[in-house]
Amino acid sequence: MGFKSAINDLAKSLRRMIFVNMLVLTLIIPFVLLALGVETSKIALITATSGFILCAVNFLFISNYCVRKTEDTLTSSYESMQNDYLYDELTQVYNRRAGLIRLNEEFARAKRNNSTFSVAMVDADYFKKINDTYGHIAGDNILTHIAATLRAGLRECDVVIRYGGEEFLILLPETSSKTAAMPLDRLRSRLSKNKYAYQGYQIPVSISIGIATISALDDDPIQVVQRADNALYTAKKTGRNRVVYGQQNQDLRPALSHA
């Protein structure tokens, strides 16, 4: 239920209470009093008193039920909208839009503090073949599996982003390329050594990774991402299932030996 629905429900509740109050005060109470033989002079006083009591009851009902219910609904709707804004629906890591905001923040922080900062581009190997062979649902499950493995194997301060399709971007604050290569290579190895079980199939899963680190010459975080993407291209071109890092001069070298 969204904001509009919650507000409409509250408005309907208020209209119903107003209608019931009018009905009670103008028809039911006077009719009952007349039937009981109450003096006409007292009917107005009793009706006014009843109206006051009904207003008090309405106030308590609105403040303690309707408004709280609406607040809860609006809060839940806001949290849902915020989740949709920040996170990729499939993999539950940052989506590209929110991820690029975090990229700019981390880049600016590294520049401001004169600290190191690395990014890694990750791509699922042979992903089209997996989709064609086992179906798109299997492919979705494998992307979720890769994202969960990356999140579980990295530090809390590291950020995993679904950059597009089968590509992920990882932000690694206070980390050089060589320092980042070791944990990323462990994750690469973990994925490649354990096939993914799906409907009786054992699907081989591997990833290629390109890493780049901020330099004094960078004035835009996309420059670092581009070097990581170039390194990823080299990793895929030279056999996949490996980690490669790119330096400022585009000297691309294997970050670690791989198995």
Active-site residues, by number, are 166
Contacts of 258 (CB under 8 A, 6+ apart): 185, 188, 189, 241, 242, 243
- 235 and 190 assigned to the same domain: yes
**Domain-embedded: residue 14:** yes
Residue 218 is encoded by which pair of tokens? 């960078």
* Alpha carbon distance 21, 27 (integer Å): 10
- 69 and 143 assigned to the same domain: no
* Residue 256 confidence (pLDDT) above 80: no
**Domain-embedded: residue 134:** yes
**What pLDDT, in 10s, does the model give residues 7-37?**
666 667 666 766 676 666 665 666 676 677 6
**What pLDDT, in 10s, does the model give residues 45-68?**
676 677 667 776 766 666 666 666
Number of domains present in the structure of the chain: 2
pTM of the predicted protein model: 0.69
- Output the CA torsion sign for 144, 164, 88, 245: positive
pLDDT band at 176 (very low <50, low <70, confident <90, very high): confident
**Domain-embedded: residue 78:** yes
**Domain-embedded: residue 90:** no
User: Residue 249: what pLDDT?
Assistant: 43
- 209 and 117 assigned to the same domain: yes
SS3 call for 110: helix
pLDDT band at 5 (very low <50, low <70, confident <90, very high): low
The domain of 12 spans: 3-85
User: Residue 67: what pLDDT?
Assistant: 62
Radius of gyration of the chain (CA): 31
* Residue 140 confidence (pLDDT) above 80: yes
